[in-house]
């Protein structure tokens, strides 16, 4: 049996099919204001100051990263950074692996104890005769 397919890919809209004429907008938008109030000008100046401060912070961070990169180029090749993305992912994965191994050990130990208990009960009751 064939797999059903979507008519439209995710993230895309279907084309609308309209049979009648398009509606006409009868309301008109108000004309934009030609001047700013003092409060709007103060707010704009405040926002501009914040943007300039953020740009300065970003520029200084970029300068620091460039200097660190120059220092890293002098370091021997083949070493990994401890704070790198790969190291952080590996730390998370190792946590999952250790938890999984612990669970496997607990289950294996419990099954071993259960099998020994069943063997003891069967041998003491005389159900096992060789």
Q: Structural domain of residue 48, as residue ranges? A: 38-75
| Total domains in the fold of the chain | 2
* pLDDT of the residue at 103: 96
* pLDDT of the residue at 65: 79
* pLDDT of the residue at 71: 63
pTM of the full predicted structure? 0.33
User: For residue 80, what are the contacts with CB-CB under 8 A and spacing of at least 6?
Assistant: 86, 87
Q: Indicate whether 8 belongs to any domain.
A: no
Residues 94 and 130 in one domain: yes
Categorize the per-residue pLDDT at 90 as very low, low, confident or very high, splitting at 50, 70 and 90. confident
Q: Indicate whether 108 belongs to any domain.
A: yes
User: For residue 36, what are the contacts with CB-CB under 8 A and spacing of at least 6?
Assistant: 44
Q: Indicate whether 99 belongs to any domain.
A: yes
Question: How many other C-beta atoms are found inside a 10 Å radius of the C-beta of residue 35?
Answer: 6
Between 3 and 107, the more confident residue is 107
Categorize the per-residue pLDDT at 120 as very low, low, confident or very high, splitting at 50, 70 and 90. very high
Q: Indicate whether 128 belongs to any domain.
A: yes
Q: Indicate whether 6 belongs to any domain.
A: no
Q: Indicate whether 53 belongs to any domain.
A: yes
Cβ atoms of 82 and 89 within 8 Å: the answer is: no
Residues 93 and 117 in one domain: yes
Residues 108 and 71 in one domain: no
Q: Is residue 129's pLDDT more than 60? A: yes
Looking at residues 81-88, what average pLDDT do you find? Answer: 70
Looking at residues 46-53, what average pLDDT do you find? Answer: 94
Residues 91 and 129 in one domain: yes
Residues 49 and 71 in one domain: yes
């Amino acid at each position: 049996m064939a797999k059903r397919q979507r008519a439209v890919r995710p993230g895309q809209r279907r084309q609308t099919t309209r049979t009648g004429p398009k509606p006409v907008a009868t309301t008109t938008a108000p004309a934009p204001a030609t001047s700013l109030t003092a409060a709007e000008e103060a707010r704009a100046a405040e926002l501009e100051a914040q943007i300039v401060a953020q740009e300065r912070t970003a520029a200084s961070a970029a300068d620091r990263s460039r200097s660190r990169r120059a220092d890293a180029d002098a370091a021997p090749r083949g070493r990994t950074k401890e704070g790198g993305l790969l190291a952080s992912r590996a730390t998370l994965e190792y946590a999952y692996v250790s938890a999984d191994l612990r669970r496997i050990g607990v289950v294996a130990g419990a099954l071993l104890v259960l099998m020994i208990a069943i063997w003891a009960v069967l041998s003491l009751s005389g159900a096992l005769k060789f």
